[in-house]
Amino acid sequence: MGFGGGLAALSSVWLSIEGSLPPANELLATVRSQTLTIAAGDGTILQQQGPATREPLKIEQIPKPLVQAFIASEDRRFYQHRGFDRQGIFRAVWANLRSANLVEGGSTITQQLARILFLNQERSLWRKLKEIRVAMKIEENLSKDQILERYLNSVYLGQGAYGVADAAWVYFSKSVNQLTLSEMATIAGLAPAPNFYSPTVNKSAAIGRRNMVLQRMQEDGVIHASEAMAAKNAPLTVKTSSPKRLQAKASYFTTYIQRELPKYVPADVLKAGGLTVETSLNPKWQQAAEAVVLKTVTENGKWQRFGQAALVAIDPRNGEVRAMVGGTDFGKHQFNRATQAQRQPGSTFKGFVYTAAIASGLSPYKQYLDSPFKVDGYEPKNFSERFRGEMSMRDALAASINVVAVKVLMDVGFDPTIKLAQSMGIKSPLIPAYSLALGSAEVNLLELSSAYGSLATGGMHTEAHGIRRIRDRSGNIIYDAKFTSRRVLDPDSAAIATWMLRNVITAGTGGAAALVDRSVAGKTGTSDKARDLWFVGYIPQLVTGVWLGNDNNQPTAGSSSTAAYAWNRFMVQAVEGMEVEKFAALPNLDNRKPTIKRQPVKPRRISIGKITDQNSEGGSLRQGENSENYQPTRRRSRRDRQSQLRGSLWRSRLQRQTPADPQRYNRLMDRLRQNRIPRQPTLDSDQ
């Protein structure tokens, strides 16, 4: 009865242990729980949290003497047992009794790995039994080399070092393949009591432990007596460094990634940790972006009175964020101005207004009068406070004419424009108001850049994101990004809008962004009192947005051309070695069918003034449109249109966003005149 009762009790204990073990698939875990690793697109570690090694090594990358040193120190019968070593326990007990001190442990390397990855440091018989059983199951599922690899990458070795690569750096500022035999034995000797045997804390104890490891290696026949003696006599020179896992790269981007994680990972999985997040960041581009942001603020911020900058680059074909800088100094300001700052986009929003107009069937050559204008009490003014008379939509966009932008918005309607902007990628609320045409609604840099990417891809939009895959502790993929592109704009309208935005670069306000070897499309933007300076531009493979300003919303003394120049500085480096791709050819402008329906605004009151010698950039007196017969969408006779177009050729001037060098102004004016094309042109979109 006693035997049967004992057997039943043991069976109950055994079943309880089995029921508390981790699932079989978790036995393949390679990292500890409560960790988070964020990696760049090329696998470079950007940030780590928790007890993780910065440099996980393959067993082939770890020097053989270092592996042998750990086996000699921790588990001399490692290759003979199956996770639990009875002889090792008896030997350890006898050695400790004989020396009256704790000189040898009874846990195998596999048991230690079980404790590191799946259990805790609780000192109890129950935990020890679980440890033994988990070790046995690990041995059933992994090879000896796989066990060693996991152990050597996860064992805690003091001073914040997890794994042998960290320890080599922390204690000796070396990589593992640069360690001497003496240093390898020192690191292997740390495992039983890292703080006590640390050479930075107790050098004499560290030397004694090192010599014991070397003696065991000699006894095991893995080194010669002469090698052991030379290593014992070698001075123990310590050169400390902080753990690499504490070093973070691309901090604004990694904080953005951490904010995104709850969208893709359940709360309990995120809390358990052990995750590795593979992102889309391009380290080379990120480094260039950070340098450009810092240089722009350092060189221009003081005299143009702005203190912050942000930059984001996105691959519009798949929505992947390739670079992100949210400010100049993450250590001082963790606020991410690329994703968290809601700012008025100024004239960059005109890109959506004019795109909606094109999609509604309007011609880029449709003429509008730039003159004093007031609608329902709202009076848009051009930055120069001067007017240019009749001009086409294409030229008005290039010169960033505010009055014309409002009239175009009125012709298309609030709802169609807002719906298009939102479908292209704008997520922030957009209020139907006349000022919307001039960028009064607040947006962030990421969504604005993502929305412009819809033009780069010919009308296809993919949501901006930075996470490609997420892996669990065992390396299994638990999330795989599968964002699909959707059509938000017809290809012809996208091609025409891009053609118009290319004119902004070649003959308008965005000249500073021009690249030597390829065409660029984009738009500058300046909010009220130059509080925000913007440029968003793109090539077929990459869209990049730049913002400059102040956190306290104070006015700057700068120009959006500074943002365009910063864009150029980044893109010159980003396109290095990148294939030149051409934008889609300009489609036939005749007889186009609209793809969105206009809903013209019906104002209660319109007042249109005169263009005089004082407020005209054309230099002559000109009668403004009569407010009583003004109709935003009325058609003109062909003769009238041709006459007005000829009369406007010399009146249209480039709007300057800040007082500028007159010579540069004249050069840009010449470019604008040279870029004018007859009303029904045959165009090469790649010119």
Q: Is 290 designated active site?
A: no
Residue of 122 and 156 predicted with greater confidence: 156
**Lookup result for tokens 């094309």:** 677
CB 239 within 8 A of CB 173: yes
The residue ranking higher by pLDDT, 649 or 219, is: 219
Q: Give the dihedral sign, CA 621/626/630/635.
A: negative
**Residue 346: closest CA among 382, 319, 378:** 382
Whether pTM exceeds 0.85: no
Q: Which of 685, 687, 686 is nearest to 492 (CA)?
A: 685
Each residue's pLDDT tens digit, 589-617: 988 999 999 999 999 999 888 887 667 76
- Sequence-separated (6 or more) residues with CB below 8 Å from residue 259: 339
Question: What's the gap between Cα 669 and its chain centre?
Answer: 38
Asked which of 244-248, 253-257, 289-293 is least confident by mean pLDDT, the reply is 244-248
In this prediction, residue 594 carries a pLDDT of: 96
Question: Residue 238: is it exposed, middle or buried by C-beta count within 10 angstroms (0-12/13-18/19+)?
Answer: middle
Chain center to CA of 343 = 20
Q: What does pLDDT average to over the chain?
A: 85
Q: What is the DSSP string of 517-539?
A: SS--EEEEEE-GGGSEEEEEEEE
What's the pLDDT score for residue 54? 82
Residue 150: phi, psi to the nearest 5?
A: -65, -40
Per-residue model confidence as pLDDT tens digits over 442-495: 999 999 999 999 999 999 999 999 999 999 988 899 999 999 999 999 999 999
Tokens of 105: 């442990």
Q: Which helix (H) or strand (E) holds 231?
A: helix 225-233
The 308-315 sheet, strands edge to edge = 320-325, 308-315, 542-549, 532-539, 521-526
Would you give the end-to-end CA distance of the chain in angstroms? 98
Tokens standing for 506? Answer: 């070649």
Q: Cα–Cα distances in Å, from 570 out to 57, 110, 262, 535, 573?
A: 34, 50, 31, 12, 6
Backbone angles phi, psi at 451, to 5 degrees: -65, -40
Task: Report the candidate in 344, 327, 248, 260 with the shortest Cα–Cα distance to residue 289.
Answer: 327
Instruction: Give CA 397 to chain center in angstroms.
Output: 30
Least confident of 29-43, 100-114, 373-387, 412-426: 100-114
Percent of the chain residues topping a pLDDT of 90:
68
> Which residue in the list 154, 198, 347, 360 is annotated as catalytic?
347
**The Cα angle at residue 240 between residues 237 and 242, in degrees rounded to 5:** 165
What band does 264 get if pLDDT is binned at 50, 70 and 90? very high
Q: Distance between CA 362 and CA 364 in Å, rounded?
A: 7
Comparing C-alpha atoms, which of 562, 461, 502, 462 is closest to residue 354? 502
Contacts of 666 (CB under 8 A, 6+ apart): none
Token pair for residue 637?
């006779």
The span from the CA of 456 to the CA of 498, in Å, is: 7
CB 395 within 8 A of CB 500: no
74 is catalytic: yes
- C-beta separation of 475 from 518 below 8 A: no
Label residue 668 left, alpha or beta by phi (over 0 means left) and psi (-120 to 50 means alpha): alpha
CA 120 to chain centre: 36
Q: Has residue 440 got a pLDDT over 50?
A: yes
Report, as an integer, the average pLDDT of 209-220. 95
Task: Name the least confident of 101-115, 166-180, 612-626.
Answer: 612-626
Which range of 31-35, 386-390, 540-544, 665-669 scores highest in mean pLDDT? It is 540-544
Q: Taking a C-beta distance cutoff of 8 angstroms, is the pair 319, 497 a contact?
A: no
HSE of 176, CA atoms in CB hemisphere, 13 A: 23
CB 376 within 8 A of CB 434: yes
Report the Cα 631 to chain-centroid distance in Å.
Answer: 46
Report whether pLDDT(124) > 70.
no
Tokens of 457: 């891809």
Mean pLDDT, rounded, for 85-97: 60
pLDDT of residue 618: 53
- Residue 682's φ and ψ, nearest 5 degrees, are -110, 110
**Pick from 15-19, 170-174, 324-328, 675-679: least confident:** 675-679
Of the candidates 74, 139, 290, 617, the residue annotated as catalytic is: 74
Report H helices in 479-611.
491-507, 560-574
What are the structure tokens assigned to 441, written together?
A: 């609604």
| Residue 399: both structure tokens together | 């010169």
- Extended strands (E) in 40-177: 45-49
pLDDT digits (tens, 9 = 90+) for 497-540: 999 999 999 999 999 999 999 999 999 999 999 999 999 999 99
Q: Find the helix packing angle between 125-141 and 2-20, rounded to 10°.
A: 60
